[in-house]
Amino acid sequence: MTWFLHVDMDAFYASVEQLDHPELKGKPVIVGGQPDARRSVVSTASYEARKYGVHSAMPMAQAYRLCPDAVYLPVRMKRYQEKSAEIMDIFRTFSPDVQQMSVDEAFIDLTGTQRLFGPPEHTAQLVKKAVREQAGLTVSVGLATNKYLAKIASGISKPDGFYVIPQGTEAAFMHSLPLERVWGIGEKTRTKLHKLGLYTTQDIYNTPLQLLSNSFGDVGAQFLYKAVRGENANLFTEESKTHSISAETTFQYDLCDYYAIETYLMELCYTVMFRMYKEGWASRTVQLKIRYDDFSTYSIQETADRLIASAEDMFSRAKLLLKKKYTGGNIRLLGAGALNLEQSAADTQGELFDFGDGKAKILEQTVLQIKQKDPSIKITKARLLKDIFS
């Protein structure tokens, strides 16, 4: 019998802040953009703040009205990643098979760990204890016979929760679950289900696969059919086929000056390309994303025959996309990305196939190396300098 544990850290960003600043323990803490900044949202609210109705993705201004006395803190991603790595290492002392899903959650395969740690229920408690004692944080865990159910289970009794779905009760568990808790069914799908007269997991259970296919397509129907039976066993197992790296910015005030738009686009391209250098990716596809003041959102992408050679190269491709897509108007958000990433090959052919970008790439990578050695050193394109001095 296979057993999977899903571990979800409780209000992760806020909890790390409370750990690093003990005087904040027991107080409402809200991590996100500045509360007085326009267009910022809540990343994480501590459970003390959630009592006031504050939750993730809520506009900061609204959170501030609900809970003006909360402590508002900016996101310190590096710190959370560091803490995350520490906790993942703790997980790996319980099983060699740890699958990290995001900064604050992971699956731990407990199949065959009985000899070392006892039954899975016991091991789950050991994991909670180890994280609490060694990392100073609480986590919620779900234990089930497949990853899909373990993931749902971990959300049942948050925070500091523990929920087991015993073998043989999988379908019964799903029948007891409100639609809002079914992973993979969001607001749009729920509305669509309601229109079909389906309000519960049991309603879906009693609907023939063929009927579901008519409304949700073969893949969607298959997902729903299996979900309500607790049978999405291999949902999180496949390696993802595609990878992408993107960066986007929502401006505090809309942009309509073409030169300013291009300058931000350049900054985004440099951000994306520098990450690709660091992580060893290559790509032939550049994507541009535009969101206007009415929130309408458009994207355009173009795949070339040859790889993006440098940040400058990516910028010139993105500029062409901007020219094609942007017809004027107020831009609220601008994004740039590289899609269909491939492993970057060793740079042995650089001289042979130098399309004039070789120098740009070497320059950019040198800048990156200097920045990595000493992050306090500021080197940047003259066009971006205004950001440094502003």
Which chain residues interact with DNA by CB under 7 A?
A: 33, 38-41, 43, 56-59, 61-62, 65, 101-105, 151, 182-190, 217-220, 238, 240-250, 275, 284-285, 294-295, 297-303, 333, 335, 337, 340
Residue number, 71 or 333, with CB nearest to DNA: 333
The set of residues, in sequence order, having a beta carbon less than 8 Å from that of 194 and lying 6+ positions away, is none
Q: 373: exposed, middle or buried (C-beta count within 10 Å: 0-12, 13-18, 19+)? A: exposed
Q: What phi, psi does 124 have (nearest 5°)?
A: -60, -45
Which residues, in sequence order, are bridge partners of residue 107? 6, 99
Asked if 378 and 386 touch (Cβ cutoff 8 Å), the reply is no
Residue number, 209 or 362, with CB nearest to DNA: 209
In angstroms, rounded to a whole number, what is the distance separating the alpha carbons of residues 259 and 280?
Answer: 31
Any catalytic annotation for residue 23? no
- Residue 330 Cβ, how far from DNA at the closest point, in Å? 12
Residue number, 134 or 303, with CB nearest to DNA: 303
Cβ neighbours of 137 (radius 10 Å): 20
- Residue 168 Cβ, how far from DNA at the closest point, in Å? 25
- Residue 119 Cβ, how far from DNA at the closest point, in Å? 26
CA–CA distances in Å: residue 157 to residues 40, 50, 141, 163 = 29, 15, 9, 7
The catalytic residue among 17, 105, 312, 364 is 105
Helix, strand, or coil (residue 235): coil
- Residue 56 Cβ, how far from DNA at the closest point, in Å? 6
Residue number, 19 or 101, with CB nearest to DNA: 101
Strands 162-164 and 139-144 come out as parallel
Q: Hey, what amino acid is at 340?
A: N
The set of residues, in sequence order, having a beta carbon less than 8 Å from that of 23 and lying 6+ positions away, is none
Q: Give the closest residue to 183 by CA, choosing from 235, 240, 124.
A: 235
For residue 218, what is the enclosing H or E element?
helix 209-227
Residue number, 104 or 312, with CB nearest to DNA: 104
Residue number, 12 or 162, with CB nearest to DNA: 12
For residue 175, what is the enclosing H or E element?
helix 170-175
- Residue 125 Cβ, how far from DNA at the closest point, in Å? 23
Q: Give the closest residue to 147 by CA, choosing from 89, 47, 230.
A: 230
Alpha helices in 34-154 (DSSP H): 47-50, 60-66, 77-91, 114-117, 120-135, 147-154
- Residue 63 Cβ, how far from DNA at the closest point, in Å? 8
Residue number, 113 or 266, with CB nearest to DNA: 266
- Residue 370 Cβ, how far from DNA at the closest point, in Å? 22
Among all residues, which ones are annotated catalytic?
105
